[in-house]
Structure 1
Amino acid sequence: MPSRDLPYPLFDADNHLYETEDALTRYLPKAYEGVIQYPLVNGRKKIAVRGQISDYIPNPTFDRVARPGAWEQYFREGNPEGKSHRELFGAPMDSIPAFREPVSRLELMNDLGIQRTLMFPTLASLIEERMRDDPELIHVVVHALNEWLYETWGFNHKDRIYTTPVISLPILDKAIAELDWCLERGARAILVRPAPVPGFGGSRSFALPEFDPFWKRVEAAGVLVAMHSSDSGYARYSSDWEGKGSEMKPFEAQVFRMMAEWRPVTDAVASWVCHGALFRFPELKVSVIENGSAWLVPLLDELASVYKKQPKGFLGDPVEEVKNRIHISPFWEEDMFELSKIVGVDRVLFGSDYPHPEGLADPVTYVDALKKFSEPDVAKIMGGNLARLIDG
C-alpha cells in the first residue's frame, strides 16, 4: 500500500524501465548484426557497441540492480564517511517483473500510490554518444529500440504509463519519419537527448533552423519533448583535463566531472533560446527531466548579461522565454519554493526517478518537500501540471 493517501492524483514525470538483453537487437536488420553484443568479461556480461566494451552502465542486462532509493541518505546528508560509490549503492536486488513489463508495473504503481507516469528507458542513454560518428547507425539502432519499446510496453498503456520513445535528429528526414512512426502508435511524449546532434560534418545544435521542420511537426502534434539526463558526451571534455578515458563510470567518484555535472543541460536550454527554436515555435512543450534545477539561476544570469550586450542576437528576451516555457522536474532535495518563484508553479513537475538508486524508494514522499506550498499548488506539482501537458 502507498505510504499515505493524497487527495489528488499523482502523475510522476520520471519513472524508468529496465530493458531486456535483446532490447537493442531484436529488431536490428540483419545487415547490422553484431553491432550490439553482450560479451562475458570476468564472468559478467557487458555491452559492446561496435566491438567497444562500455562501462557506462555496469550491468546492461539489469538482472541484478541497485535498490530503489539506495542513494537517498547520500543526497539527504552527504557522504561524511567518504564511502565509495559501490558502498553507497549497497546490496543489489534481483530485477522484478515490474521493472520489465507494464502489467506488473501497474500493480506496483497501485502499491506506490502513483496513478500515471512517464516511463523512460535506461539503456537508451548510451546509444547516441557511442555512435556519434555514424549517423545512419544511430537511426537504425534507435528505431530498433523503439520497436522493442512499443512491442513490450506500448507508448500509452491504459492511459497510465506513457513510455517515451527515443528520437535522434542527425538526419532530418529520418528523424521526422521516426517521429511520425511513434505518433501513429500513440506516443504522447518523446525523449530527446540534451546534447549536440551528431552529423556527417560534425555536431550542431538541435535548435538551429535546419531542424525547424521536425519541431514544427512536434508542435503540431502537441507531444511533450522530454530532455532527460543522458550521456551527452561531455566526459570527453573532462578527459582533456584529466587525461583519462572518456567514459563516466558509475562506481568511481569522479569529482572533477561532478563540478560540471549540469553543463550539458545548461547548454541544451541555452541553445533553445540562443539558436531560436523556442521563439519560432511558441506552442512547443519542453521539459527538463532528471537534471534538477541548480543550473537554472546561473544560466538565467548569464543569459541576462549576454542579452544586455547583444539584444539583436536573440529573437526575444531569452530570460523570460526560458522562465515561461521550460518545465522542470527538480530533485526532491532542492528548494522547489524558490524555483517556483522563478518559473511559476505551473512549470514545476514531480519526478521520483523510480526505481533508480538516485531516486525515491517511496515516490509519494516527494510531497514532503512541498510544505511551503498551498494544497492547490501541491496538487499541480504532484500531477496536475504534467497532466495538462500530456492531455493537451
Structure 2
Amino acid sequence: MIMANLSYKAIDVDNHYYEPLDAFTRHLDKKFKRRGVQMVSDGKHTLAIIGDRVNRFIPNPTFDPIIVPGCLDLLFRGAVPEGVDPASLMKVERLEKHPEYQNRDARITVMDTQGIEMVLMLPTFACGVEEALKRDIEATMASLHAFNLWLDEDWGFDRPDHRIIAAPVISLADPEKALEEVEFVLARGAKLVLVRPAPVPGVVKPRSLGDPVHDPIWARLAEAGVPVGFHLSDSGYLQLAAMWGGKSTFEPFGSKPDPLDQILVDDRAIHDTMASMIVHGVFTRHPRLKVVSIENGSYFVYRLIKRLKKAANNHPHLFPEDPVEQLRNNVWIAPYYEDDLSALADVIGVDKIVFGSDWPHGEGLEDPLSFTDELVGFSDEDIRKIMRDNALNLLGVKVASAA
C-alpha cells in the first residue's frame, strides 16, 4: 500500500463495518422478535426478514464472501474501458481474511498501516432498516435501540483513545422515544449521531425533518455539540423510480441496474433533506446545530443553493436568515472523491469539506489516503484542513497529537 506523503495523520469520516447477523437481535426486546430484523437460513443461504418481508437491501447479510475494497473505482469514475463488462470489476474474498471489518482492535491495527488517526465508523446493513420498518414505528424504535446497544458493545461510540467514533442511529419517527435515545447515546459518549436522509415516518403521514415536533432533539444535540450525520441510505426514493416503471426496492448491488432509476433518484434524498432543515427553520431555531452529509456526493449543493436563492427572493418574509449562509455555516460535506472538489470549495468554502474514503466498500478507495490525489491545486494548508482539521472542528474532539 502506498500512502500519501502527509506530515500528519488523517481523519476519515466515512469508514464502515460489516454487521454480524445478531447486530439487531442480540439486545432486542423479545416481544419484537417477529416484528424487527430476523435472519433466516436454509442451510445454504441466509435471508434478512424485516417486519414480515424478505429484504434485499443487502443480498447476502452474512457478508461472506465480501467485496474487495475499491474494486469498483473505474465504474464510479465512469472510466470502464471500452469492451469491458462492468460486472467483471466486482471482486470478492472471504470475510475470515479481514477481521478488521468486524473487530475494533483489528481495525485500529489496519488504520495504523493506512496513516489514519481517527475514523467515523458507519453502518452497512443498518442503512436499510428504517425504511423497511417504517410502517411499524414501535418496532423501528425498539430495533434501533437494540442496534445501538450492540454498536456500543462491539465498537464503542467513543473511547478515550478517540481512534474509532461509531455513530449510533436515531429515528425521529417517535419524537419522544427519539429524545430518549439521544439522551441514552449521549450518556454513553456518542460524538456523532446518524439520522436517515428522508422524510420522517409518521403514524398518520410523513413529516419534514424541520417539523417543530423534532426541536427538542435538535436542541439537545446542539447543546451537546454533537453533529448529525446524514449518510446515504434507503430513503424510500425508489418509489419515484417505480412511478416510471422502475424498481421500488433498494438493491444497491443488483445485477441489472436501470440507469433511469439512478437519474431519477440520484442525490434527491440529501438535497431534499438539507432543504427541509434549512427552509423549515431548523438552523434558525438552533443555530449551533452542526450536520454533515456523508457519501451523498456534492453536486446537490449547487442545485440547492440555486433553489434556496430563488425561494428566498420570492418569499423574503419566510426567511429571517440567509438560507445559503446557513448552508455554509452549519453543513459540512464529505464529497465523492471523483467530484469537482475545487468547485465545491468555491461555493461552500474549504473549511466545510471533510475527507471520507468509504473504506472498505467496493465503491470507495482501496487506499484511503489516495484521496489526496484529487486535491490538485489545493494548498498544503487547505489539504490539511480537508484531510484532518475540518473533521476535528466538526466533532469538537481534541486529540493528543497530529503526528
Is 2:75 aligned against 1:71?
no
In 2, distance between residues paired with 1:265 and 1:292? Answer: 9
Mapped contact 1:49–1:130 kept (Cα < 8 A): yes
Change (3 A) 1:62 1:301: same
Change (3 A) 1:42 1:202: farther
Change (3 A) 1:243 1:5: closer
Equivalent position SS for 2:291: strand
Equivalent position SS for 2:12: strand
Aligned pair partner of 2:126 in 103, 124, 130: 124
Q: Which stretch of structure 1 is more off in the superposition, 73-82 or 181-190?
A: 73-82
Change (3 A) 1:327 1:147: same
Q: By how many angstroms is 1:269 displaced?
A: 0.6
Mapped contact 2:80–2:86 kept (Cα < 8 A): no
Q: Could you tell me which amino acid in structure 2 is paired with residue 59 of structure 1?
A: N
**What are the residue-to-residue correspondences of 1:1-392 with 2, within 5 Å?**
3-35=3-35, 36-40=37-41, 43-81=44-82, 86-95=87-96, 96-157=98-159, 158-242=161-245, 244-251=247-254, 252-259=256-263, 260-391=265-396
Change (3 A) 1:213 1:107: same
Q: By how many angstroms is 1:80 displaced?
A: 4.9
Change (3 A) 1:339 1:61: same
Q: By how many angstroms is 1:320 displaced?
A: 1.9
Give deviations 1:94-135, integer Å, cap 9, x for gaps: 252100011000001011111101000111111110111111
In 2, distance between residues paired with 1:129 and 1:182? Answer: 22
Equivalent position SS for 2:388: helix
Unpaired segments of 5 or more residues in structure 1?
A: none
Task: Give identity over the alignment, percent.
Answer: 39
Mapped contact 1:37–1:51 kept (Cα < 8 A): no
Which residue of 1 is the match for residue 400 of structure 2? Answer: none
Q: Could you tell me which amino acid in structure 2 is paired with residue 87 of structure 1?
A: S
Change (3 A) 1:243 1:391: closer
CA RMSD, Structure 1 to Structure 2 (Å): 1.7
In 2, distance between residues paired with 1:144 and 1:19? Answer: 13
Change (3 A) 1:107 1:176: same
Unpaired segments of 5 or more residues in structure 2?
A: 398-403
Mapped contact 1:236–1:247 kept (Cα < 8 A): no
Q: By how many angstroms is 1:78 displaced?
A: 3.0
Q: Could you tell me which amino acid in structure 1 is paired with residue 151 of structure 2?
A: L
Q: By how many angstroms is 1:314 displaced?
A: 2.2
Give deviations 1:155-210, integer Å, cap 9, x for gaps: 11421100000011111111111011101111100111111111111111111211
- Return the TM-score normalized by structure 2: 0.93
- Report the count of equivalent residues: 392
